[in-house]
Amino acid sequence: MSEDIRAGEIAVTLPDTFDAGIYFIGRIRTPWTRREDCPKNARGSDAVCTVEVDERYAAALEGVTTCTHLVLLYFMDRARRDLLVQSPRHGERRGTFALRSPVRPNPIAMSVVRLMRVDGTRLTVVGLDCLDGTPLIDIKPYFPSVDSVPDAVVGERTKTSP
Amino acid sequence: MSEDIRAGEIAVTLPDTFDAGIYFIGRIRTPWTRREDCPKNARGSDAVCTVEVDERYAAALEGVTTCTHLVLLYFMDRARRDLLVQSPRHGERRGTFALRSPVRPNPIAMSVVRLMRVDGTRLTVVGLDCLDGTPLIDIKPYFPSVDSVPDAVVGERTKTSP
């Protein structure tokens, strides 16, 4: 895939083997079936999405209804994994670890969602921007005491930034 | 390991094969070498920790210094993965997806950290509670616009909760 690289981008040769394995524990249902239709960021979307948890893990949902918000981890299984520096079409060149792009060595996305309803193993949520069918890998309760930093800043890079 | 189960806990038989693989991209250095020494939650700790990113991924750090806070994903490689309902020693019984316990089908932790300094591939951060040597799997910029929900609530379970 390295032929698809844009000017200024840097790719890496990934290791030959993985260090650990993950299970897909469900699927995320969203209105978006093509990457270009996905909202540019989750804040821009009030779309109601559905998280379908596999029956195997149903018992792990006990108590989830006490949470107003959840952290979802999911696997961007259609993203390449070898880019270390990216030049987004609308944005400045940045290292992958300074971007929320799905393209990264481990294409695991993290989204904070508002939990609207739980029906058995189906969770209705707001706050996602991923493709329909995206594999789910974890659900966690969101604790503002450790997860919320309202005054955090992601700055613009300037000529003097490293 | 199922003999180690506590009253009220529920274990599952995990699938025979993994669905995807992940790379360890570095290691986290903390003051804690035994699980019982780790802080009960990251808020309780002002300990300064170090994130050592593998040289292979050095270029991906470009622009990270513009972030005051980062999201770290790391792999709790010593945790069992088969518990769906857990009875914490100090806490009520809950489903794994309503807990931040390292024990989960995919033992991937998410922490929001304050970035103090970047020296080459070493990041100095505050806000971690994991064991020394924990494998790192991702670094992301923290955006309050989508990641911060100060009024989120994780409620107590009551007799009437499902």
How confident is the model over A54-99, as pLDDT tens digits?
999 999 999 999 999 999 999 999 999 999 999 987 778 999 999 9
Using the Cβ of B126 and the Cβ atoms of chain A, whether some distance falls under 8 Å is answered with no
Least confident piece of the model among A111-125, B1-15, B80-94, B110-124: B1-15
Mutate to test the interface with B, among A149, A153, A160 (most CBs of B within 10 A): A149
* Helix, strand or coil, per DSSP, at residue A60: helix
Q: What is the pLDDT of residue B42?
A: 57
Please report the number of interchain residue pairs, chain A to chain B, with beta-carbon separation below 8 angstroms: 277
Q: What is the mean pLDDT of chain B?
A: 91
For A147, list phi and psi in degrees, rounded to 5: -100, -15
Residues A75 and A135 sit within 8 Å (Cβ to Cβ):
yes
What is the 3 state secondary structure string of B45-83? CCCEEEEEECHHHHHHHCCHHHECEEEEEEECCCCCCCE
Taking the whole predicted model, whether its pTM rises above 0.95 is answered as no
Query: In this prediction, what percent of chain A has a pLDDT beyond 90?
Result: 77
Using the Cβ of A22 and the Cβ atoms of chain B, whether some distance falls under 8 Å is answered with yes
CB contact under 8 A, A10 and B59: yes
Identify which of B70, B55, B82, B78 has the alpha carbon closest to the alpha carbon of residue B126: B70
Rounded-to-10 torsion of CA A107, A143, B28, A104? 10
Q: What is the pLDDT of residue B3?
A: 54
Residues A98 and B141 sit within 8 Å (Cβ to Cβ):
yes
Chain B residues lying within 8 Å of A65, measured CB to CB: 161-162
pLDDT in tens, chain A (162 residues): 445 889 899 999 999 999 999 999 999 999 999 888 888 765 657 899 999 999 999 999 999 999 999 999 999 999 999 999 999 877 789 999 999 999 999 999 999 999 999 999 999 999 998 999 999 999 999 999 999 999 999 988 654 444
Mean pLDDT of B10-34: 96
Interface of B with A in 26-55 (CB under 8 A): 41-43, 53
CB atoms within 10 A of CB B50: 18
CB contact under 8 A, A100 and B60: no
Residue from the list B21, B59, B153 with its beta carbon closest to the beta carbon of A21: B21
Distance of CA A37 to the CA centre of its chain: 16
CB contact under 8 A, B19 and A22: yes
CB atoms within 10 A of CB B59: 17
Q: What is the pLDDT of residue B52?
A: 98
DSSP letter string over A105-145?
SS-EEEEEEEEEEEETTEEEEE---PPTTEEEEEEEE--HH
Structure tokens at B12: 């599952």
How confident is the model over B132-148, as pLDDT tens digits?
999 999 999 999 999 99
Chain A nearest CA to B129, separation (Å) = 11
Which residue in chain B is spatially nearest to A100 when comparing CA positions?
Answer: B140
Which residue in chain B is spatially nearest to A144 when comparing CA positions?
Answer: B150
Mean pLDDT of B29-49: 82
- Residue B42 DSSP one-character state: G
How confident is the model over B79-92, as pLDDT tens digits?
999 999 999 877 78
Chain B residues lying within 8 Å of A155, measured CB to CB: 66-67
For B23, list phi and psi in degrees, rounded to 5: -105, 140
Strands B94-95 and A122-126: unpaired
Alpha-carbon gap, residue B69 to A127, rounded angstroms: 21
CB contact under 8 A, B104 and A59: no
Residue from the list B17, B56, B98 with its beta carbon closest to the beta carbon of A63: B98
Q: What is the largest CA-CA distance in chain B?
A: 53
Which residue in chain A is spatially nearest to B64 when comparing CA positions?
Answer: A98
Alpha-carbon gap, residue B51 to B118, rounded angstroms: 9
Q: What is the pLDDT of residue B37?
A: 84
